[in-house]
Structure 1
Amino acid sequence: MTETLRPGWRSHYALALVALAYVFNYVDRLLMSILIEPVKLEFGVSDTEIGLLSGLVFGLCYSVAGLPLGRLADRIGAVPVIACCAIAFSVFTMLCGLAGSFAVLLLCRIGVAFAEAGGMAPSVALVSQLYPPRQRSRALAAFMMGPSLGTLVGLAAGGWIAHHYGWRMAFIAIGLPGALIGILIWLTVRNVRVPRDTAASAGSGWWPSTQAILATPGYIWLLASASLAAICGYAVGTWNPSFLIRSHNLTMQQAGLLAGVGGGVMSFAGTLACGWATDRLVQKDAGWQVGTALAGTLLSIPFALGYYLWPAGSALVLMGIAIPEAFLLYLGFAFFGVWWSIPCLGAISHLFPAGRIAQATSVFVAAMTLFGIGAGPLVAGTLSDLFTPSYGDEALRYALAASVSLLALASVTLALALPSYRRARQIPALAIAHGG
C-alpha cells in the first residue's frame, strides 16, 4: 500500500464497523471473567477448571482456527470473513446462557473461540489496505480500542446484568449486538480485494508461505514478545474481578464497574496515546515502531506489581464504592499495559505486502492467543490453587503478581526485536514475502 492512498469516508466507515465488531469480539471473550464466581457456584468447579474453560481450551481452538481464516481472508478479502465470524461468535455467546452443565458451557465457549478467530487478523489486513503507512498506527489504535471498550462493556455491563438478572441473561444480552454488527458489515462494507501482484505471492502453499513469514527478520522476536505479554494480559483480564472480590471485599457488580470503567477508560486512553506517539516517532526513526512497545511495557511493570502487592485498604468512596488504594496503581498499568500490541501489529503491516498481511497477522495472533488465552488464565488459576494452602483467600493476589512478572521477559524480547526490525525494513517487502 503506497503513501498516495487517501482514505475517505468509506475507509473511516469500514474502520468504525470492524472496530465495533472487535469490541464485541472482546466483550464476548472477556465476559466469562466477571461471571466466574456465579458459574463456579452453580456448577461446583475449581479455579483450575475455570482456567481451562477461559484459557487453554479457548486459546487452543482460537489459535487453530485463526490460521486458515487468516489465509482465507488473504484469498477472498477480509470483509466476508469478518462479517460471518461476528455473527457466529455472537450466536455461540448467547448459547452459553442456555448451558445446562459445565460440559455444555465448555462446548459453547469452543464455538465462540473458533468464530472469534476470524476477527482480528482479517481486520488488521483490511485496515492496512485502507490506510497508508504514515497513518497506520493511528488507524490500528482506533481498531485496537476493542479491548479497552470491551473491558468497559463486558465487565461493567456484564456485571450489572448478572447482578440483577443472573449470569445466563448476561451471556444472552451481551451476545446479541455482535450478530447485528456482523450483518451490517456484510451488507454495507465494500470488500477490498488484494492487488493482483501481491495476490500471486499469496498463492503459494500455506506451509511454504508460513516458513517465509517466520524467516522474516525480527518477526520471531515479535511473536515471543506478544506471547509473553499476552499471558500477563489474559491472566489479569480473566482474574482481576475475582481478585477485587476476594482481596478487597468488593461485590461482583462493584468489581465489574471498577475493572470495566476504570481499566477500560485508561486502556482506551493508552491505546490512543500509543498510536499517536508511534506515528509521530517513526517519522524520525523507524525503530520506534518497536521502541514504543518496549517503553510502554517497561513502564507498566512497577504499576502491575504495585497493584497486586499493595495491602488491602480504601483510598476514597465514589458512587458508594470504597475504591481500594491499590486500584490507583491499576490505572497506570491499564494505560501502559496496552502499548505492546499496536506497535507490534503495525510492525507486521510494514514488514509484509498486502497479500501476506492477514496470514502473518494470523500466525502472530495464533501464538499470542495460544500462550495468552491458553496459558494466562490457566497459569494464574493453577497458581492460585497451589498457593491456597499457604495464603488462603490471598492466594490469587500472589498468583497474579507472579503472572505479571513475565512482562520483564517481554521487555527483553522486544529489545531483541528492535535491531532485527530495523534491518528488515531495509529489505524490499516482496523479497521478504518470497523468503529472500
Structure 2
Amino acid sequence: MGQGRLAEHGQVSPSYKWQLVGLLCVAFFLNQGNRQIYSTVLTQIKASASAGGLGLSDVQAGMVASVFIACYGLCVPLAGFLGDRLRRKWQLLFSVLVFSIGTLLTGFGGGLVSLILFYGVVFGAGEAFYYPPATSLMSQFHEKSRATAFSIHQAALYVGIMFSGYFSGYLSRTFSMQWRAPFVIFGAAGILWSIVLLVFLRDTPNQKAAGVAARVTVRETLGHILGKRSALMLAVAFGCMVYVDVGFKTWTPTFLIEKFGFTPEKAGFSAVFFHFVCAFIGVMAGGRLTDRLAARRKTIRFEANILGLLLGAPFIYLMTHGTSEWFCFAMLGLFGLFRGIYDSNLFASLFDVIKPQYRATATGLMLSFAFLVGSFSPTVLGYLKSRFGLSFGLASLSVSYLLGGVIILAACTLFFNKDYEGSKA
C-alpha cells in the first residue's frame, strides 16, 4: 500500500514524521527568506527613481512592513480555525503558492501602493495560512518529540533569514534588476516547491481526531482557549517578542549601513548571520533539553520562555551602544542565543495547556494578536529614527522583551498548574 493510502488509513511509516518536518522546513525556509528580502534591500527601494529605487521615505518604508504584519495578523485566526477543521495539506499548499506569488509580484512593484498590495496584502495573507496548520500537523505526528520537531522547523526560519540576508543583497548588486531580482527569484522557487508539496505531503493519520475537531463549535473552541489564562498571557508575551522581532529585522540592516558604512549585501548578511547562528544553537539545545525534562518537570517549557526573554533583553540594548562592529556582532549573537531558547518552546509551551482539537485555532489567535502588536513596530521605529536616531529606536526594544518575560513568569506562577491539568482531562 502506498504512503498516501497509508496516511489516509491512519498508518504511516515511522520515518514519515521526520520526512514531514523536512518538507515543511523547506517551505518555512522560503516563507521567512522571502520576508527578509524587504529589509535587506530597503535602502535600494528607498533610493530615488534615477538610482533604480522608488523614493520612499522612512515612514513609508516602515508602513509597507506594517501593512504586511497587520494583514498577517488579521488573516491568521482564520488560518487557525480552518486548520482544526479542514485538510491541512491543502491549506499549506495554498499558503506556499500565494505567498510565493506575492513575492514574485513585489519584484514588479512600481511604487508605494503596489508594494503595499503585493508585499503587504498578498504576501502577508499567504504567509498567514502556513504556521497554524504546519504546527498542528507536526504536533500530531510528534507527541513525544514535539519540541525537537518544532526546534528543527524553527531552525529553518533562521537558515532562511540568514541565506536571504546575504543572497538578496548579492542578487540586488549583481543583476540589472537590482532590488527586484531577489523577489522574482525567491518567488519562483516557492512556486516550484508548492508542486513538490502537492506530490509528497500527507495529512494527519488521526482521522478520528479530525472528525471530532470538525464537530467542535466556534463557541466551544473560544471558550476553551479564553478560559486558559496562562495561554492568554503567553499570547501577550509573544506580542512583546514579535514587536521586537519585526522592528529588529526591518531596521537592523539600515542601522548597520548608517553606523558602520556597510554595503547592503554586508549589512543584510551581518544583521542576521551572527544572531541566527546563535539562535540555531539555542533552539536546538532548548528543544532537546526540554523534551528530556518535560516528563519530570512540567513547567520546563514555560521556564525556557522566561529565560529566553529576560536574559535576551540586555543584549538588545547593548547591540546599539558599541563603537565596534565586532562588539555589535557579539551582542547580536547573544541576543540570538536566548531568542533561540525562547523559540524552542514557543508553541510547545502553548500546547501544554491547550487540548489537541483546539491547537491550530489557538495558534492562529496567538499569532494574530502578536503580529497585530508587531505591525506597529516598523512604523514606530521609522518615526523614532527620524526624531531620535535609529540607535535609540532599536535600544527601546529591550523594554518589550523584559515585559514579555515578566508576563510569562506570572503565568507560570499563578495559572500554569490549573491550565495544564485541564488540558489533560
> 1:217-248: per-residue Cα shift (whole Å, max 9, x none)?
31111001100011011111111111100111
Secondary structure of 2:85's counterpart equals helix
For residues 146-201 of structure 1, the C-alpha deviation after alignment (integer angstroms, 9 at most, x for no partner) is 32112111211111111212100111112222222222112111111654356435
With structure 1 as the length reference, what TM-score do the two structures score?
0.89
Q: What is the deviation of 1:143?
A: 1.0
Q: Which moved more, 1:149-158 or 1:264-273?
A: 264-273
Query: Aligned pair in 2 of structure 1 residues 6, 196: CA closer, same or farther (>3 Å)?
Result: closer
Distance 2:186 2:124 in 1: 16
Whether contact under 8 Å (2:85, 2:210) holds in the other structure is no
Aligned mates of 2:411, 2:340 — CA distance in 1: 18
Identity of aligned residues (%): 23
- 2:229 and 2:315 map into 1 onto residues whose CA distance is 32
Q: Aligned partners of 2:132, 2:209: CA distance in 1, in Å? A: 21
1:140 to 118, 142, 150: 150
4+ long deviations beyond 3 Å: none
Give the Cα separation in 1 of the matches to 2:219 and 2:379. Answer: 30
CA distance in structure 1 between the partners assigned to 2:190 and 2:373 by the alignment: 26
Q: Which blocks of at least 5 consecutive residues in structure 2 are unaligned?
A: 1-10, 48-52
The one-letter amino acid paired with 1:203 is R
Unpaired runs of 5+ residues, structure 1, are: 314-322, 388-394, 432-436
The residue aligned with 1:301 is 313
Distance in structure 2 (CA, Å) of the matches to 1:342 and 1:238: 22
Aligned residue among 399, 408, 414 for 1:414:
408
Q: CA RMSD in A?
A: 1.9
Change (3 A) 1:368 1:53: same
How many Å apart are 1:202 and its aligned residue? 4.7
Mapped pair 1:279 → 2:285: no
Matches within 5 A, 1:1-400: 8-41=14-47, 42-55=53-66, 57-109=67-119, 110-132=121-143, 134-165=144-175, 166-192=178-204, 195-196=207-208, 199-311=211-323, 313=324, 323-372=325-374, 374-387=375-388, 395-400=389-394
Alignment: residue pair count: 406
Change (3 A) 1:310 1:79: same
For the pair 1:403 / 2:397, whether they are aligned, the reply is: yes
Q: Would the alpha carbon gap of residues 328 and 7 (structure 1) be closer, same or farther in structure 2, given more than 3 Å must change?
A: farther
Q: 1:7 to 1:423 in 2, by over 3 A?
A: farther
Kept in 2: contact 1:198–1:354 (CA 8 A): no
Whether contact under 8 Å (1:309, 1:398) holds in the other structure is no
Could you give the per-residue CA deviations for residues 269-315 of structure 1, whole angstroms, max 9, x where no partner exists?
2211221122123232111110011112122112211111222x3xx
Give, in whole Å, the separation in 2 of the partners of 1:156 and 1:150: 10
Distance in 1 separating the partners of 2:224 and 2:249:
33
Q: Is the 8 A contact 2:316 2:394 kept in 1?
A: no
Deviation at 1:330, TM superposition (A): 1.1
Amino acid at match of 1:102: L
The Cα shift of 1:7 comes to 7.5
C-alpha contact 1:76 1:193 (8 A) present in aligned 2: no
Equivalent position SS for 1:246: helix
